[in-house]
Structure 1
Amino acid sequence: MATGHPNLHSFPNSDELATQLRSYVLRCQNSAFSRHGTFRLAVSGGSLPTVLAKALLATSNGSPEDTPQFSKWHIFFADERAVPLNHEDSNYRLLNDELVSKIPTELGTPIIHAIDEKHIGDDDPQELADLYQEDLMREFAAKDSVKLPAFDLILLGCGPDGHTCSLFPGHALLREKDAWVAAETNSPKPPPKRITLTLPVVTHAISIAFVATGGGKKEILKQIFDLEEGSSLPSALVNQGAGDKVSWFTDHPAVDGVSFPRRGSL
């Protein structure tokens, strides 16, 4: 059962948001290193990789605590589209273009867990989902020995309809309780075929962060944080399921008119 409420942070501009996001991610990294020597995280697409690159590629103050040690990172995808890795809709390509390809050599290279391209042409992306779940099992433990994988951090976006990962409002996948990775064959947002982490996997993570910016997000964030009508939206379900493990990183325009208490610096 979730404890506490999500943490809503609001910043005046993208520079301050990136600075605070960097501190948060590196705290998650360092805590993960103290637990098991690696940092296992999942990331979404959209605008998130651009913000993440701005945060993580900023100049370090030189201390180990403020340095991304990418060679110890395992990066998974919170969701992925059933397209080739070099396709413009691929979250893998987006993350690689925005962040991974720009990492300085001295910081190391993360291990990226991409989908298996051999199955992207299948009519049903279920095989893609099954194979990606097997990848998680190799990293976290066999599915019969742990109920759910425990990511050190999951980084998410929030769509204008309140969706996150490839979990859309009102869809049956929101009720999935057993699978770690699920297939979506008819996404309301193109491309239609995708795979996604399921809601129980997302809420089981040690830490979860949303990044949502711009005035175009203020209506959906007001629903998620202030209104009963927004309580069934996927992003709101993450808040409810994970409580104070969730931190939202927003700019002021995105939370204009939101009553839920918010703070600046972490």
Structure 2
Amino acid sequence: MAASGDVKSINELRIFESIDDLATDLAEYIAQLSEVSVRERGFFTIALTGGSLISLMGKLSEAPYNKTVDWTKWYVFWADERAVAKNHVDSNYKLTKDGFLSKVSVLNSHIYSINENLTVEEAAREYEFMIRQLVKVRTIDVSESNDCPKFDLILLELGSDGHVASLFPHHISLQHKEDWVTYITDSPEPPPERITFTLPVINSASNIVMLGVGDEKAMVVKQVIDNLTNGLDVSLPAKMVSPSEGKLVWFLDKPSASFLNAKESKQDEI
């Protein structure tokens, strides 16, 4: 395990020599959280995004996890999704289904995707209503501080512009405090229409993984880590990720961490 950082906003920083090492540790980390959540609550609620995250979760579908993880207790959600058909190449659901869910035994009735037949605004409202129903029966836990849903794990991938989920820099969606799920119609990256968890929901999670992979992420990793270390401005969405009652763990490969200072990288390296 990497050493825990002494910065309040970063609970743990893990830097890996290779992508394979990162994927191996990520699988073990998720499996351990799943085991604890199932033992303590009877469920494991996990919210995903897209991108390279899904391929990095691939080791969970291999031995020993394909047999040892209690997949029937998993409830799967998306922290953001594109307003496209489920079989569209841009769909996070399709990416996750093809790359991960089709290889494990999560119950279809426990997989919660957006309604592709609605407008993006209607889809966001319906997704939030569905989450509220699951909070009522405590399938999804609830935050004591703000009554937001408290997912057992939210997995995020850091964008090269500092965005997370579909929360982009300087976008009005960053100001949404009352909604659990919101929508945008002007994403700076295609496709333009998306739904996304709001910051209060993300920050209410019991555990958050922030993934950074590749040298194109090195500058923004430095900007975000330096901010959390030095308390500078928080204009980047990734800088606003700071769980109120949970734990944030960064998973970085060597290229994405290459601009961090040597002392910081060395003390937390795996």
The question of a shared fold, defined as TM-score above 0.5 by the shorter chain, is answered with yes
SS of residue paired to 2:255: helix
Counterpart of 1:140 in structure 2 is 135
Q: Deviations over 1:20-65 (max 9, x none)?
A: 1112111211121122101001000111111112x31232179x8x
Q: What one-letter code is carried by the residue in structure 1 that aligns with 2:14?
A: H
Where structure 1 has 5 or more consecutive residues not aligned to the other structure, the ranges are none
Normalising by structure 2, what TM-score?
0.86
Q: Distance in 2 between matches of 1:20 and 1:181?
A: 30
The Cα of 1:195 is off from its aligned counterpart by 0.4
Counterpart of 1:59 in structure 2 is 63
Matched-pair contact (CA < 8 Å) for 1:204–1:242: yes
Counterpart of 1:196 in structure 2 is 196
SS of residue paired to 1:249: strand
Q: Distance in 2 between matches of 1:51 and 1:230?
A: 31
| Cα distance change, pair 15–243 in 1 and its aligned pair in 2 (3 A) | farther
Q: Distance in 2 between matches of 1:36 and 1:14?
A: 32
Does residue 220 (structure 1) correspond to residue 220 (structure 2)? The answer is yes
Q: Which of the numbers 238, 250, 253 marks the counterpart of 2:252?
A: 250
SS of residue paired to 2:27: helix
The Cα of 1:108 is off from its aligned counterpart by 5.0
Counterpart of 1:23 in structure 2 is 28
SS of residue paired to 1:118: coil
Does residue 238 (structure 1) correspond to residue 241 (structure 2)? The answer is yes
| Cα distance change, pair 244–251 in 1 and its aligned pair in 2 (3 A) | farther
Q: Distance in 2 between matches of 1:223 and 1:243?
A: 24
Counterpart of 2:114 in structure 1 is 115
Q: Distance in 2 between matches of 1:198 and 1:42?
A: 13
Structure 1 runs, 4 residues or longer, greater than 3 Å off? 107-110, 227-230, 241-244
Bigger mean CA deviation after superposition, 18-27 or 159-168: 18-27
Matched-pair contact (CA < 8 Å) for 1:85–1:117: yes
Counterpart of 1:164 in structure 2 is 164
Normalising by structure 1, what TM-score?
0.87
Q: CA RMSD in A?
A: 2.3
Query: How many residues are matched?
Result: 250
Where structure 2 has 5 or more consecutive residues not aligned to the other structure, the ranges are 1-6
The Cα of 1:141 is off from its aligned counterpart by 1.9
Matched-pair contact (CA < 8 Å) for 1:8–1:261: no
Q: What one-letter code is carried by the residue in structure 1 that aligns with 2:125?
A: D
Counterpart of 1:264 in structure 2 is 269
Counterpart of 2:4 in structure 1 is none
Counterpart of 1:47 in structure 2 is 52
The Cα of 1:180 is off from its aligned counterpart by 0.4
Matched-pair contact (CA < 8 Å) for 2:199–2:241: yes
